[in-house]
Amino acid sequence: MFSVFHFNSPKHSLSLNILSLMKKILLILLLVNLSPIMFAQSGVSVGDEAPALSVDEWLKGEPVTSFENDKVYLVEFWGTWCGPCIENIPHLSDIEKKYSSQGLVVIGVATHEFDGREKLDKFMKDRGSEMEYRVAFDTDLTMERDWDTGETGGDNFRLPVCFLIDKSGKVIFTGHPSDKKLEDMIESAVN
């Protein structure tokens, strides 16, 4: 009446193994080809419109609520725990002094303060006078996420990182504040 087929032959087993292997290879090839898309940084790039300033609190200097058309802005993300960030304070102060009369506004945005607000307050009390530019605090990391300084919630972010915004509100530089190209870009943007 009914026949039951058993596919336990070596030939059939080999076919299933080859099919399984081909599926795995196809999946790997698909992931390799899609990985640049899936893992590409979706953050702010040169040529993009600058995201809004969404700091929680201004710690020093006159607050900036939006980018004005007659000014150039240097927005730097930093942290009190970040050695290279601290090393760049004199450099950013020098840039502020040199170009502020030509319309440059330097903003340091403290972010990722792992040890809490107390450490930031102490840092500002002890060393804030060295920062001759505006300083803000991004308490909830909203601005950090909007500007995408790296992986949110993880240990993988780029600090210090700065963004130079021209008079039209476009990002014209993104990178490390000590990059030699930055000052050339500032000179070009303010003139």
Contact, 101 vs 187, CB < 8 A?
Answer: no
- Give kind and range of the element (H or E) at residue 104: strand 104-110
Structural domain boundaries in the chain: 8-40, 57-190
For residue 37, give Cα distances in angstroms to 30, 40, 44, 51, 119. 11, 5, 16, 22, 38
pLDDT of residue 33: 42
How much is the pLDDT for 49?
Answer: 93
> In this predicted model, what pLDDT tens digit does every residue of 37-73 receive, in sequence order?
333 345 788 999 999 999 989 999 999 999 999 999 9
Q: What percent of the chain has pLDDT over 90?
A: 59
> What fold does the segment set 57-190 form as a domain?
Glutaredoxin (3.40.30)
Q: Which of 17-26, 92-101, 152-161 has the lowest mean pLDDT?
A: 17-26
Kindly report, residue by residue over 169-186, the tens digit of the pLDDT: 999 999 999 999 999 999
Q: Is 54 exposed, middle or buried (0-12, 13-18, 19+ CB in 10 A)?
A: middle
Q: Using an 8 Å Cβ cutoff, are 177 and 160 in contact?
A: yes
